[in-house]
A and B are shown apart, each in its own frame.
Chain A
Amino acid sequence: MTESNGIVLDVDELRMRYGSLDVLHDVTFQARHGEVVALLGPNGAGKTTTIEILEGFRIRSQGRVSVLGADPTHGDEQWRARLGIVLQSWRDHGKWRVREFLAHLGTYYAPYAVPGIRRPWDPDELIERVGLTEHAGKKLKTLSGGQRRRLDVAIGLVGRPEMLFLDEPTTGFDPQARSDFHDLVRDLADARETTVLLTTHDLDEAEKLADRILVLNGGRIVADGTAAELARRIAGEDEVRWVRDGRRYVDRTPDSTTFARELFARYGDDVQELEVHRASLEQTYLALVREAEGVAR
């Protein structure tokens, strides 16, 4: 199998069943080269299961999956060298030191350098990129939660992956670290070398980082699109408030701009205290999750 039309991630009717319990019902989506895709959903929605199947760590029950042109179940070492993986929590190699460990892991990727992709990432450069320069000599077990998480991301990047999986990457980050991390992912995306699939239950993060958001709930993809598309397509209604002749009015409309123009055309100067609340992604998301749960019951 080869990658066709720049599609590096192709998931078709993926199902996962543990005994008689279906964890994933029908997960279908694609990601193109260089895209940042967020898999968003509440806890227990199946995000981690999905990402572990794509990483080749879990064997699916049914469906077709292709990652960088290969089935993860049969991915060879060369395939693995093109992946970067950041799991939810790592606490391995506690006695190793930051720089030592990154330099060591880098050596595994050196044989897989190809024209255009220099492997591995230089350890000092990478440490600086994730903001750990002053901790380079520290043992891993002495790092704080946030520092450890930055290192995890660095480890995921050390082989300059073409496909990067991030499972809840910013857990435990302070706002500064979170913002640094977002810059890093955006840079990767802008370089158009790495496709990123990240799971998160932080809506704000998905909106900031992702080109496209997939909402996973109850083992199904319930929405797929850009943040703006999602907000429009599902909740779809902006809220408009105004005051006329001392009375308050509230109305909902899919097109608030036209609505406002017509409002002024009709009442002119009588319209006061106009407020337009765009359909927010948060409302959309909550509506989606509620809706899907209603279906499940």
Chain B
Amino acid sequence: MNATVLRAGWSRGLIELRQSFTNGAELFSHFLWPALMVATLFFIRDLSVGALLLGALALPGILGMNAATGMIGMSQQLTADREDGTLLRAKATPHGMPAYLIGKVISVSGGLLADLVIFLVPAVLLVEGLRIGPGSWPGLAWVLVLGLIATLPIGAVLGSVFTTARAQGLVQLPFLALIGISGIFYPITSLPEWLQWIAQVFPIYWMGLGMRSVLLPDAAVAVEIGESWRHLETAGVLGAWAVFGLLVAPVVLRRMARGESGSTVAARRERALQRVG
């Protein structure tokens, strides 16, 4: 990997990021999800959970959950890029694949970051009981960065394995179910224990927990499992996903890229057209 690849990947990422904020459809989706979340917060902000307000409890969780959706974005974009030949183009260009992946990571995480800000600014004005100050930034940064490293490679793997837009729809269902049991909108301790265990295997719960540990006052720890922020466990689980993803993704991506050729892209399009027709 050399400077040219990094530079090419970086400029690819920035160009794609700019494109996603300059066309109507994508711009709409950049605002839709944050707007829905802000609306949700608006309705639940005054409900109380013990001594806490639900609004304050849910806001950090939503941040963590949104960051985890990068996985889905990565997966969908990979599938789309494979279908239209963008990946094949990368394969036909010297160092095209690494630059493509760097670009994708930059555009997806850049888009996520923007979405988080779009959500956070109105949400913070709406919700009371948060503990936000200059001291929150380093905490936010490590949870976010580690969370992205844990989820984006997994997204790339999903994108390589599930090759059609239809299969991508199926990937979203378990993801939504996981969000439901990951203690995002309500404390996880109110769920049956076996569900808690399932949730704790996946990154979404830990990204939410990490965000709560940074943005909530210390007293809020009372509704968490073991009444602890469990920083070590958070780093451990997210770290394990990161290592797993970074080991598996290159292998899966390489195998997927090896099979790409002009005729495979053409054949896939043929099948897609038949489904439509």
Contacts and interface: CB of A to CB of B under 8 A. Distances in A.
Nearest to B16: A95
A107 B11 contact: yes
A83 B94 CA distance: 9
Contacts of A159: 94
Interface stretch (A86-94, A121-129, A257-265): A86-94
A110 B23 CA distance: 31
Nearest to A76: B94
A57 interface: yes
B23 A95 contact: yes
Nearest to B263: A48
B92 A104 contact: no
Where chain B touches its partner, the secondary structure class is helix
Contacts of A57: 88, 91, 260-262
Contact of B4 (A52, A93, A110): A110
B19 A92 contact: no
A110 B2 CA distance: 13
Nearest to A82: B94
Contacts of B95: 77, 108
Interface stretch (B78-86, B141-149, B165-173, B239-247): B78-86
A27 interface: no
A58 interface: yes
Contact of B93 (A90, A95, A100, A105): A105
B15 A107 contact: no
A230 interface: no
Chain B interface size band reads 20 to 34
B8 interface: yes
Contact of B19 (A55, A80, A85, A96): A96
Contacts of A167: 262
B86 A108 contact: no
B266 A93 contact: no
B261 A104 contact: no
Interface string B10-40: 0110011001000100000000000000000
Contacts of A88: 262, 266
B73 interface: no
B187 interface: no
Contacts, number: 76
Given A48-B263, A88-B262, A108 B23 contact: no
A126 to B, nearest CB: 15
A107 B8 contact: yes
Contact of B15 (A87, A104, A110): A104
A93 B263 CA distance: 18
B84 A58 contact: no
Contacts of A78: 94
B254 interface: no
Nearest to B264: A57
Given A100-B15, A104-B11, A87 B88 contact: yes
Interface in A267-294: none
A91 B85 contact: yes
A109 interface: yes
B93 A80 contact: yes
B91 A108 contact: no
B131 interface: no
B89 A104 contact: no
B7 interface: yes
B129 interface: no
Contacts of A95: 16, 19, 23
Contact of B89 (A49, A55, A90): A90
Contacts of A102: none
A65 interface: no
B19 A108 contact: no
A242 interface: no
B157 to A, nearest CB: 22
A94 B8 CA distance: 19
B54 to A, nearest CB: 40
A94 B84 contact: yes
Contacts of B12: 104
Given A90-B85, A94-B84, A107-B8, A80 B94 contact: yes
9 contacts: A57-B91, A80-B92, A80-B93, A81-B94, A92-B88, A95-B19, A107-B4, A108-B96, A108-B99
Interface of A: 48-49, 52, 55, 57-58, 77-78, 80-81, 83, 85, 87-96, 100, 104-105, 107-112, 155, 159, 167
Given A78-B94, A92-B89, A107-B11, 6 more contacts: A55-B92, A57-B88, A77-B94, A88-B266, A89-B85, A91-B84
8 cross-chain pairs, A with B, having the tightest CB-CB distances, nearest first: A57-B261, A87-B262, A81-B94, A92-B85, A92-B86, A77-B94, A80-B94, A95-B19
